[in-house]
């Protein structure tokens, strides 16, 4: 696929979890050289396996023409990246924790070339809060990829008050090269568009479950069948990761003081118990036997 515009070289993706590996895959599929970076070697090995599995599936269904083996060659899996080469774009995909995100970005701010654009994939933290800790707040922007990124084309682009117009244009050009569908957010408010609406629904769904109004399966079915959602609010929460959605609710709650975003108690208990959804085999549903089974 073509690579027009400014970005034709290397993309750094920090964090090889659920989102980072998916974004790395779509960058490689569209011809970019990618360094996928994580501080956990096992996560990197798992990411490599999953990307290859996903590419082989797309290839066997004739949804892409290039051989999976050729695409994966464009991805370097690394705990310790080499930044001597030019880095055109860096996408931060570490967990939804503002101090961790700042630490990671400050570290890469020191070692990356000054022209590298930094993007954060935060689900809900206002971009300005993260950008202010770096020396490149004009070259830092939010790119919130819808999940899972290999299937969903939408990306919210969120400039902060400090982001330059040139950074917005270059980011749009990069995302167009990835064939993404872009929604630009005009004001840098916690939760942006997607999570402001989705997390309010998820919190209400969880509260209905807590009150015993209906089972998780019935709450999800109501929204799937009644509103045409592809996933109900609880199954979507399990897919995203309950730690991630709880942290995102807290970011919006802190920013707006709106009590609708205060995390429901049962969500907090599940996170404390390490039941984070699909990625740990249990959340609002049980995944221990493969696909989800009804829990309540
Ligand atoms: N899960 C979703 O559906 C979803 C959707 C859109 C945006 N997001 C956002 O994307 C970001 C990542 O979410 P995720 O679901 O991929 O999380 P995840 O927990 O699956 O992955 C995070 C990865 O970051 C790694 N990491 C932690 N500290 C690191 C460091 N210092 N250096 C390098 N790697 C480090 C972890 O080992 C882990 O593999 C979060 O900000 C989240 O809010 C998530």
| Strand, coil or helix: 177 | helix
Q: Are residues 11 and 143 in contact, defined by beta-carbon separation less than 8 angstroms?
A: no
The residue whose C-alpha atom lies closest to atom 2 belonging to ligand 1 is: 240
Query: What residues act catalytically?
Result: 123, 144, 156, 195
- Between the CA of 232 and the centroid of ligand 1 the distance, in Å, is 22
Residue at token pair 């709106």: 258
122 lines ligand 1 (CB under 6 A): yes
Does 163 contact ligand 1 (Cβ within 6 A)? no
CA of 14 to the centre of ligand 1 (A): 8
Residue 83's pLDDT band, with cuts at 50, 70 and 90, is: confident
**What is the predicted pLDDT for the residue at 289?**
78
| CATH 1.10.1040.10 domain locations along the chain | 195-280
Q: In CATH, what is the architecture of 10-184?
A: 3-Layer(aba) Sandwich (3.40)
The percentage of residues in the chain with a pLDDT greater than 70, rounded to a whole number, is 95
Nearest 5 degrees, angle CA 227-CA 276-CA 259?
60
* pLDDT attached to residue 9: 79
* Distance in Å, CA 38 to ligand 1 centroid: 10
Task: In whole angstroms, give the CA distance from residue 57 to residue 259.
Answer: 43
What is the tens place of the pLDDT at every residue in 249-279? 999 999 999 999 999 999 999 999 999 999 9
- State the pLDDT confidence band at 8, using cuts at 50, 70 and 90: low
Give tens-digit pLDDT for 143-194.
999 999 999 999 999 999 999 999 999 999 999 999 999 999 999 999 999 9
212-224 pLDDT, tens digit each:
999 999 999 999 9
Identify the DSSP state of 22: H
Tell whether pTM > 0.85: yes
Q: Output the pLDDT for position 290.
A: 72
Which CATH number does 195-280 carry? 1.10.1040.10
Within the chain, all domains assigned CATH 3.40.50.720 are found at: 10-184
């Amino acid at each position: 696929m073509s690579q027009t515009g400014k970005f034709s070289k290397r993309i750094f993706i920090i964090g090889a979890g659920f989102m980072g590996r998916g974004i790395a895959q779509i960058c490689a599929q569209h011809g970019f050289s990618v360094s996928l970076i994580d501080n956990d070697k096992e996560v990197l090995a798992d990411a490599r396996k999953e990307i290859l599995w996903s590419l082989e599936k797309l290839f066997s269904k004739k949804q892409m023409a290039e051989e999976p083996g050729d695409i994966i060659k464009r991805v370097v899996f690394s705990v310790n990246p080499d930044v001597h080469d030019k880095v055109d774009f860096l996408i931060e995909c570490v967990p939804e924790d503002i101090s961790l995100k700042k630490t990671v970005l400050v570290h890469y701010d020191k070692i990356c070339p000054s022209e590298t654009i930094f993007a954060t994939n935060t689900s809900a933290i206002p971009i300005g809060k993260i950008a202010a800790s770096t020396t490149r707040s004009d070259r830092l922007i939010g790119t919130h990829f819808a999940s899972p990124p290999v299937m969903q084309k939408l990306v919210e682009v969120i400039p902060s008050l400090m982001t330059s117009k040139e950074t917005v244009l270059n980011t749009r050009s990069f995302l167009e090269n990835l064939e993404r569908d872009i929604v630009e957010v005009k004001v840098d408010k916690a939760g942006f568009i997607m999570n402001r609406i989705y997390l309010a629904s998820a919190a209400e769904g969880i509260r209905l479950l807590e009150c015993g109004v209906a089972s998780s399966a019935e709450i999800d079915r109501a929204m799937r069948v009644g509103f045409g959602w592809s996933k109900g609010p609880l199954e979507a929460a399990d897919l995203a990761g309950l730690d991630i959605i709880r942290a995102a609710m807290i970011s919006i709650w802190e920013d707006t003081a709106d009590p609708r975003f205060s995390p429901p108690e049962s969500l907090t208990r599940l996170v404390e118990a390490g039941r984070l959804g699909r990625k740990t085999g249990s959340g609002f549903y049980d995944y221990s036997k493969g696909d989800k089974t009804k829990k309540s």
